[in-house]
Structure 1
């Protein structure tokens, strides 16, 4: 998969050069890396803000693979990504303990929100996350899950467990897709769903969904960057991984994160956390 990604990038570059009547220049190979990250960083538009600035600052080109956190960790495990930007802390800790990853650093956080139709047939509005999920299950109101082993899916499962619920039956529907697609399906079905706030805000104008539960410490959504090493495979580029990890926790990148979303939504979508401890966030 990794070789295929780089081949596609190379072919596209060659086509563009040919179209301009130029021949590819001889010289050292382009410095490029693969970032495996979550759909929330793509669907919110954050990657569009960060990656060009990273390339300008370092010269490294980035191919971003936006998948669920579980899939991103698996890409790292197979040596098919150089660096990971993910938001599933328990799974990340277990992954790092396997020994193929390098440093894991706190980058930023936002929060999860429980969304549903304004009519709120389950009566979840204003409740804490766990109690709201229990109400939805008791009412057997439609709940649309990502079902994709993402960080959002992991948090959803944690909330069901704490509510003492084993979800299933016709009311519980799994998309197996990313956050953006799951939000659209939940809106079409007048259902409930759990979302990271950034993706919801980026798409809310097209969604008949409203925030019903928020602000609970159990809804905190924490992102880390994880560098891969050649212990995961000979194709891993640890220099690129370190360059990205060091840049995203640097003051210029953290300032970009702090401002992202203000112009469009009147509020930032993420809170920069480099240099903080996760315990201080309440996670």
Structure 2
């Protein structure tokens, strides 16, 4: 009997420890650029060591990441489409949005540059030339923050994509890394966030052709998913992550992440 009592006690302890371990992680729905740029690979071990909270990342396009959170399958969202984020908040799915960091988008394309846009700082003029010359263009087409920005820029250029799309325009429905691989294989133009481009190895004949336009600004935000909508959201652990990335410690860690000596993201919490 003593043996069975000890056995039952051991099982109960194991179940308790398992439950505690399960509580020590959060799920963050995030854009692919935070993962594919290598930022999370650098940042999360620092947070986990300091907090004891593990972070499981689900990397999707921003639209899909927000949808995941709407379904209650994430505790925190970390994305980069301010308009979509504000809508998420207005609908009551998020608690409060905090700006975390920024970088910019760049227009990448073939070195031979058939559209003749090299060195331009006018992204709208560049897109107009790409469309008028029917030069190959790859789009993520995945409702990501990058895709949303691309669509806004086409609209600013006065081009109706529904009518203008043809063999020259390739909708991929993929993340930034895979889309860049497709653009490299096609020797095509593509809009990319700078962070993923800097970490991208398979560039082949691609290079940055257009940068510096203020309309290419790329802001990231973070939000706790609203526990009032989804009571199972890990409010305390999730809020610790939010508080950490906007704290001086988290902001310094973001600023310290570099590839080839080049800074990928610029912290701007509270600014």
TM-score by length of 2: 0.90
Residue 205 of structure 1, CA deviation: 5.6
1:59 alignment counterpart:
52
Residue 204 of structure 1, CA deviation: 4.4
1:130 aligns with 2:124: yes
Q: Can you list the C-alpha shifts for 1:222-253, whole angstroms capped at 9, x where unaligned? A: 00001112233222111122111000011111
C-alpha distance in 2, partners of 1:26/1:137? 61
2:20 alignment counterpart:
29
Query: Structure 2, unaligned stretches of length 5 or more?
Result: 1-12
Equivalences, count: 252
1:249 aligns with 2:246: yes
Q: Can you list the C-alpha shifts for 1:54-105, whole angstroms capped at 9, x where unaligned? A: 1111111111000000011111111110001100011111111001210110
1:20 alignment counterpart:
none
1:220 aligns with 2:209: no
C-alpha distance in 2, partners of 1:102/1:92? 11
Residue 267 of structure 1, CA deviation: 1.5
Larger radius of gyration: 2
C-alpha distance in 2, partners of 1:210/1:134? 19
1:42 alignment counterpart:
35
Residue 126 of structure 1, CA deviation: 2.2
C-alpha distance in 2, partners of 1:53/1:259? 12
> Secondary structure at 1:231's aligned position in 2?
coil
Task: Pick the aligned partner of 2:109 from 113, 116, 128.
Answer: 116
C-alpha distance in 2, partners of 1:165/1:205? 30
Query: Structure 1, unaligned stretches of length 5 or more?
Result: 1-22, 277-283
C-alpha distance in 2, partners of 1:221/1:209? 21
Q: Are 1:147 and 1:153, in contact at CA under 8 Å, matched by a contact in 2?
A: yes
1:236 alignment counterpart:
233
Residue 275 of structure 1, CA deviation: 1.4
Coordinate RMSD, CA, aligned: 1.4
Q: Are 1:229 and 1:237, in contact at CA under 8 Å, matched by a contact in 2?
A: no
Q: Can you list the C-alpha shifts for 1:15-73, whole angstroms capped at 9, x where unaligned? A: xxxxxxxx958435121110000110111100011111111111111110000000111
Cα 1:224–1:209 shift into 2, 3 Å: same
C-alpha distance in 1, partners of 2:130/2:211? 15
Runs of 4+ with >2 A deviation: 23-28, 204-208
1:159 aligns with 2:150: no
Aligned runs of 1:82-231 on 2, under 5 Å? 82-127=75-120, 128-167=122-161, 168-204=165-201, 206-231=203-228
> Secondary structure at 1:232's aligned position in 2?
coil
C-alpha distance in 2, partners of 1:254/1:90? 23
Q: Are 1:101 and 1:231, in contact at CA under 8 Å, matched by a contact in 2?
A: no
2:10 alignment counterpart:
none
Task: Pick the aligned partner of 1:266 from 255, 261, 268.
Answer: 261
Residue 208 of structure 1, CA deviation: 2.2
